[in-house]
Chain A
Amino acid sequence: MRWWYELKYLVRKLNRRRAERELEGEIRAHLEMEASEKIDDGLTPEEARYAARRAFGSVAIATEESRAMWGFGTLEILWQDLRYGIRLLRTKPGFAAAAVLSLALGIGANTTIFTLVNALLLRPLPVTAPAQLVSVYGTDENNRGQFLSYTPLSYLNFRDYREQSRVFSGLVAHTRIAMSLTTAGEPQQAPAEIVSADYFDVLGVKAFLGRTFTSEEDKILGAQPVVVLSHALWQTRFGGDPTLVGKTVRLNNLNYTVIGIAPQHFRGTDLAAASDLWIPMMMHDHVFTGAMRDYFNSRRSILMDVTGRLKPGVSFGQAEGEMKAIAARLEQQYPRENVKRGVSMIPLSHSAIHPNFRRVFVQSGAMLMAAVGLVLLIACANVANLLLVRSEARRREIAMRLALGARRGRLVRQLLTESFMLAGLGGALGLLLAVWGRELLWALRPPFLQNTGIDISLNGKVLGFTLLLSLLTSLIFGLAPAWRASRAELVADLKGKSAQASHGHRWFSLRHALIVFQMALSLVALIGAGLFLRSLHHARRINPGFETEKMMTLSFVVGALGYSEAQGQEFYRRAEQRVETIPGVERAAVSSVAPFAWGFHRTVTPEGGTLPGGQGILVTTNQVGLKYFDALGIALLDGRQFTERDREGVSRIAIINEAAARLFWPGQNAIGKRFRFYGDDSSREIVGLARNTVALNLGEEPQPQIFLPIQQNYSPAVTLFVRTQGDPADVLNAVRREVQSLDQNLPLVNIKTLPEILGEALWAPRMSAALLGFFGALALVLAAVGLYGVMAYTVTERKREIGIRLALGAERDQILLLVLKRGLGLVAVGALLGVGAGWLALRMLTNLLYDVSVVDPLTFVAMPTLLFLVALVACYLPARRAMKVDPLLTLRCE
């Protein structure tokens, strides 16, 4: 029952005005009664009133302590502080706006970047108990290039791993394929995965509709054409038709029965390579045609990504140990196929971005987080300075409140509440900015992140991050003024101005330390921005070694429509011919490799040469049409091009690039030399030597490449390169129509001009430069505003000193110089620290830069200069005000 009384009491007292009135009335009545008693005792009315008051003690304290009963304790005090804070902020809207905006920009930038980092690197995949899942990769000691550190496994090796290992409750293989999906609309190429039947069970992914595969569906080769569709494909292509399950869809010219729809965000285990449909492994003969069918059954051909779920109680290290032991056995058992090949495991949480690329993602994420961290620290320093300046102005108020009996703890709490409030407002506004910033950045993402299951929604982690950041910032910038208040010196402060000089100097130094700190941080941000701008500039000028202006491409997979090799070859020939009849087109040639994409790597044994590590070097191959070198403008340094006569049945030939020649036969003429691919019964003769071209990445070391005439080496999937006379965009549609007219059912994809593709390839350096440039500019502006604020305040504070100097005959120019010197001196110290810190911090980013040294002299000169120029402006404005001080007026004010 007691709680009920208490609640009733509190509810009644919620009406503060009434409660105040009641209490006041009650106390007044008390005093009057006491006084009238004293009058009865014979005192004069005046004396009686006085005596009554004396007996009562402090009315103020009685009222205050009674009031304390009405509230909800701490909450109530917080509310009081908040209201007081809001009142203060409203009386100083300029200060409030400056502080909140600074913080909002800082927190907004941090939340934006964190949202993306979280989505790409931290958010677990939508699978059951992801911590038990691991990715199993192959390793290849002979081929440890940057992008071959972690390789797939061959299907045969995978089967041995699955049978021999005892540490997994399930081990599944899956690999990406492109399937053509024929529905009523345009033909479509769908990114697909062919998977072990227990793929979904091992990942713990339940169907959104229908079911996933059963083991029955993975027993007999080609017997069960069934498919699970992604939620996204179901929605976009089939309008979310709930009756689709049980119906058939046409994939690669065969009817597959839809047995289920995957849950919304599940798009496979690779974030950057999302799948739209899944078919069981036993359909491999249907989707792999030609040479791929042989590769599927070759122990040497590494095609399969492998994922496993650890048995309960089995540790990661234990599992990896057993897998490595099996790998060693497999190498012994199949020395030719598995030469120097092993196995390596990575937790799924670290392989959702493929480990070959993950380091770059992590580095970029860390770099961006650092940049926005700098911005936030600068913003904090700004707000701290604003608060310090204000706390100087409020010194009398604080001293007064202390004198009137306020406890210091209570005052500190109130000041911190104000800081929390600023940070809270900044955080809320920052969150809004972040939502907007996230949309903007996500809209600018590269094509390989375009159609994925990546979930960038603001989840608890992001909101928690923002909240934590706001709290942290308020502590960082709120501590100084609160500390200042807790050390208030009553007498001096109450006296006000006369004491200012002695205080002024101490606070002078903290404020100025903050400025130095800001200058240093902003210079680090600027140097980072400068390096990446230079890097972008360099990247743009990298010559990939082939024509990039007058060129367009489109890709298609005739194999997916069931074309035989002969039909495919015929199709390529006709496509090249037909496209060349289009006005504005100069040359057309097919190639099995799209620009800046993987080619098929094959094991090469050169005759009469020795390779490092013996046999087993993988080299990327490219099966190309006759006019490929002509069309792309790749110069042949020696030998001849492919001709009509180089077709199937005639002696097999190849053209290699300089890097390959240097690798196979260093110092020798490669023309006329021969090499053999793994699994081939005859060797091939080198007939031409091509200049190096960029294979995968702009700025890469030249990669060895082997070009083969496509007539002798069929590929069921090709990219058509079209060299144009003018702007390639003009012929884009004509080329598409012409190729489509050869087969209405053939999905044509990546119909793009090369400048577009190049733009996409430069996405990372462009994005880094843009973001770092933006954050650098933001840091500079915030720091400049901070510098301006402090210098302006210093001038105001020293008006009297300046007035005296002027009165004693100082020249106005000297005053200007005095202020400038003081300001720029701080900037110089900050810049020195910034250069040092920048040099130390940015060394870690070398591999993200295109051909720019981290101690790039231009950047290290230009950026400090920029900082100085901006700082000069920020100091000049207050300095000019100082120069115009009227000595008479200032002195009279005293």
Chain B
Amino acid sequence: MRKQKDEPIDMLQGTLDLLILRTLLFGPIHGHAIAKSIEQTSQDVLRVDHGSLYPALQRLERRGLITAKWGTSENNRRARYYRLTAAGRKMLVTETSKWERLSEAIARILNPNREEA
């Protein structure tokens, strides 16, 4: 039982995009930091294949939601720093509210008695 709880959950389609946008809200960071941040804030529940991050970043960049710039990391490594654009911010707001509505709805279905309780 316990073991099952510890098992990291695979990402749902499209959620990665939302998480990336959310992570970037606090300022420009590079790819590795995004991965770490998602893992840590989800307390290792969500498993992010680091590899899958990069196509997602390209996709968001292509859609104009984020932009990237080369910079130098704290360890003096060259890395690409991603930052939200205005469109990205807007998208984050709408997507977040959508996600919340969705998760509420799902929660209600899975647990119909909670409201009465």
Residues on A with C-beta less than 8 A from B52 are 57, 62, 65
Cβ contact of B49, chosen from A27, A57, A69, cutoff 8 A: A57
Cβ contact of B58, chosen from A4, A30, A61, A69, cutoff 8 A: A69
Answer yes or no: A439 CB below 8 A from chain B CBs.
no
- Whether A1 and B54, one on each chain, are in contact in the complex, defined by CB atoms closer than 8 angstroms, is no
Residues on B with C-beta less than 8 A from A6 are 62-64
B60 to chain A, nearest CB (A): 9
A window 1-54: CB within 8 A of B:
1-2, 4-6, 9-10, 22-23, 25-27, 29-30, 32-34, 36
Answer yes or no: B79 CB below 8 A from chain A CBs.
yes
Answer yes or no: A59 CB below 8 A from chain B CBs.
yes
Q: Determine the interface band of chain A, counting residues with CB < 8 A from chain B.
A: 20 to 34
- Whether B62 and A69, one on each chain, are in contact in the complex, defined by CB atoms closer than 8 angstroms, is yes
A5 to chain B, nearest CB (A): 3
- Whether A59 and B51, one on each chain, are in contact in the complex, defined by CB atoms closer than 8 angstroms, is yes
- Residue on A nearest B33 in the bound complex, by CB: A33
- Whether A32 and B77, one on each chain, are in contact in the complex, defined by CB atoms closer than 8 angstroms, is yes
Residues on B with C-beta less than 8 A from A22 are 80
A window 52-80: CB within 8 A of B:
55-59, 61-63, 65-66, 68-70
Q: What's the Cα separation between A1 and B88 when bound, in Å?
A: 12
Q: What's the Cα separation between A55 and B77 when bound, in Å?
A: 20
Residues on A with C-beta less than 8 A from B78 are 25, 29
- Residue on B nearest A33 in the bound complex, by CB: B32
Q: What's the Cα separation between A5 and B64 when bound, in Å?
A: 5
Q: What's the Cα separation between A23 and B61 when bound, in Å?
A: 13
- Whether A4 and B77, one on each chain, are in contact in the complex, defined by CB atoms closer than 8 angstroms, is no
Answer yes or no: B31 CB below 8 A from chain A CBs.
yes
Residues on A with C-beta less than 8 A from B51 are 56-59, 61-62
- Whether B50 and A55, one on each chain, are in contact in the complex, defined by CB atoms closer than 8 angstroms, is yes
Cβ contact of A9, chosen from B30, B64, B77, cutoff 8 A: B64
Known contacts A1-B87, A69-B62; is-contact A26 B73 (Cβ 8 Å) = no
- Whether A34 and B32, one on each chain, are in contact in the complex, defined by CB atoms closer than 8 angstroms, is yes
B86 to chain A, nearest CB (A): 8
Q: What's the Cα separation between A10 and B73 when bound, in Å?
A: 27
Q: What's the Cα separation between A814 and B7 when bound, in Å?
A: 72
- Whether A34 and B54, one on each chain, are in contact in the complex, defined by CB atoms closer than 8 angstroms, is no
Residues on A with C-beta less than 8 A from B80 are 22, 26, 29
Q: What's the Cα separation between A25 and B78 when bound, in Å?
A: 8
Answer yes or no: B98 CB below 8 A from chain A CBs.
no
B32 to chain A, nearest CB (A): 4
Report B46-80 CB contacts with A as 1/0, cut-off 8 Å: 00011111110111011110000000010101111
Residues on B with C-beta less than 8 A from A4 are 64
- Whether B58 and A66, one on each chain, are in contact in the complex, defined by CB atoms closer than 8 angstroms, is yes
Q: What's the Cα separation between A70 and B61 when bound, in Å?
A: 10
- Residue on B nearest A9 in the bound complex, by CB: B62
- Whether A33 and B54, one on each chain, are in contact in the complex, defined by CB atoms closer than 8 angstroms, is no
Q: What's the Cα separation between A39 and B35 when bound, in Å?
A: 18
Known contacts A1-B87, A6-B62, A36-B75; is-contact A26 B50 (Cβ 8 Å) = no
Q: What's the Cα separation between A27 and B49 when bound, in Å?
A: 13
Q: What's the Cα separation between A869 and B105 when bound, in Å?
A: 82
Residues on B with C-beta less than 8 A from A5 are 62-64, 85, 87
- Whether B64 and A2, one on each chain, are in contact in the complex, defined by CB atoms closer than 8 angstroms, is yes
- Whether A56 and B49, one on each chain, are in contact in the complex, defined by CB atoms closer than 8 angstroms, is yes
Cβ contact of A68, chosen from B55, B75, B87, cutoff 8 A: B55
B window 63-117: CB within 8 A of A:
63-64, 73, 75, 77-80, 85, 87
B103 to chain A, nearest CB (A): 27
Residues on A with C-beta less than 8 A from B32 are 29-30, 33-34
Known contacts A5-B85, A36-B75; is-contact A30 B62 (Cβ 8 Å) = no
Residues on A with C-beta less than 8 A from B79 are 26, 29-30, 33
Known contacts A6-B62, A25-B78; is-contact A69 B55 (Cβ 8 Å) = yes
- Whether A33 and B73, one on each chain, are in contact in the complex, defined by CB atoms closer than 8 angstroms, is yes
A76 to chain B, nearest CB (A): 13
Q: What's the Cα separation between A55 and B39 when bound, in Å?
A: 12
Residue of B30, B32, B35, B51 most packed against chain A (CB within 10 A): B51
- Whether A27 and B54, one on each chain, are in contact in the complex, defined by CB atoms closer than 8 angstroms, is yes
- Residue on A nearest B49 in the bound complex, by CB: A57
Residues on B with C-beta less than 8 A from A26 are 31, 54, 79-80
- Whether B62 and A1, one on each chain, are in contact in the complex, defined by CB atoms closer than 8 angstroms, is no
Report B32-47 CB contacts with A as 1/0, cut-off 8 Å: 1001000000000000
Residues on B with C-beta less than 8 A from A55 are 49-50
Residues on A with C-beta less than 8 A from B53 are 62
- Whether A29 and B30, one on each chain, are in contact in the complex, defined by CB atoms closer than 8 angstroms, is yes
Q: What's the Cα separation between A23 and B87 when bound, in Å?
A: 24
- Residue on A nearest B34 in the bound complex, by CB: A30
- Whether A34 and B61, one on each chain, are in contact in the complex, defined by CB atoms closer than 8 angstroms, is no
Q: What's the Cα separation between A66 and B49 when bound, in Å?
A: 14
Q: What's the Cα separation between A25 and B30 when bound, in Å?
A: 12
- Whether A1 and B64, one on each chain, are in contact in the complex, defined by CB atoms closer than 8 angstroms, is yes
Q: What's the Cα separation between A209 and B80 when bound, in Å?
A: 71
- Residue on A nearest B77 in the bound complex, by CB: A29
- Whether A2 and B58, one on each chain, are in contact in the complex, defined by CB atoms closer than 8 angstroms, is no
- Whether A10 and B77, one on each chain, are in contact in the complex, defined by CB atoms closer than 8 angstroms, is no
Residues on B with C-beta less than 8 A from A57 are 49-52
Residues on B with C-beta less than 8 A from A36 are 75
- Residue on A nearest B79 in the bound complex, by CB: A29
B25 to chain A, nearest CB (A): 19
- Residue on B nearest A55 in the bound complex, by CB: B50
- Residue on B nearest A22 in the bound complex, by CB: B80
Report B4-40 CB contacts with A as 1/0, cut-off 8 Å: 0000000000000000000000000011100100000
A3 to chain B, nearest CB (A): 8
Q: What's the Cα separation between A25 and B72 when bound, in Å?
A: 13
Q: What's the Cα separation between A590 and B79 when bound, in Å?
A: 102
- Residue on A nearest B57 in the bound complex, by CB: A66
Q: What's the Cα separation between A10 and B64 when bound, in Å?
A: 11
Q: What's the Cα separation between A66 and B55 when bound, in Å?
A: 4
Residue of A58, A63, A66, A68 most packed against chain B (CB within 10 A): A66
- Whether A33 and B63, one on each chain, are in contact in the complex, defined by CB atoms closer than 8 angstroms, is no
Residue of B31, B55, B63 most packed against chain A (CB within 10 A): B55
Q: What's the Cα separation between A57 and B79 when bound, in Å?
A: 20
- Whether B62 and A10, one on each chain, are in contact in the complex, defined by CB atoms closer than 8 angstroms, is yes
Residues on B with C-beta less than 8 A from A69 are 55, 58-59, 61-62
Q: What's the Cα separation between A2 and B64 when bound, in Å?
A: 6
A70 to chain B, nearest CB (A): 7
- Residue on A nearest B58 in the bound complex, by CB: A69
Residues on A with C-beta less than 8 A from B61 are 9, 69
Residues on B with C-beta less than 8 A from A30 are 30-32, 35, 50, 54, 79
Residues on A with C-beta less than 8 A from B50 are 30, 34, 55-57
Q: What's the Cα separation between A390 and B42 when bound, in Å?
A: 54
A538 to chain B, nearest CB (A): 74
Q: What's the Cα separation between A22 and B85 when bound, in Å?
A: 21
Report A830-847 CB contacts with B as 1/0, cut-off 8 Å: 000000000000000000
Q: What's the Cα separation between A58 and B64 when bound, in Å?
A: 26
Residues on A with C-beta less than 8 A from B35 are 30
Q: What's the Cα separation between A7 and B14 when bound, in Å?
A: 23
B5 to chain A, nearest CB (A): 21
Residues on A with C-beta less than 8 A from B73 are 29, 33
Q: What's the Cα separation between A56 and B50 when bound, in Å?
A: 4
Residues on A with C-beta less than 8 A from B87 are 1-2, 5
Q: What's the Cα separation between A75 and B49 when bound, in Å?
A: 29
Q: What's the Cα separation between A182 and B63 when bound, in Å?
A: 77
Q: What's the Cα separation between A295 and B55 when bound, in Å?
A: 89
Please name 14 pairs of A and B residues whose Cβ atoms are closer than 8 Å in the assembled complex, sorted by A: A4-B64, A6-B64, A22-B80, A25-B78, A29-B31, A30-B31, A33-B77, A34-B50, A57-B51, A59-B51, A65-B54, A68-B55, A69-B59, A70-B58
Residues of B within 8 A of A (CB): 30-32, 35, 49-55, 57-59, 61-64, 73, 75, 77-80, 85, 87
A57-B50, A62-B54, A66-B55 given; name 8 further pairs at CB < 8 Å: A2-B63, A6-B62, A26-B79, A26-B80, A29-B80, A33-B77, A33-B79, A70-B58
Nearest 6 interchain pairs by C-beta? A5-B64, A57-B51, A62-B51, A65-B55, A69-B58, A57-B49
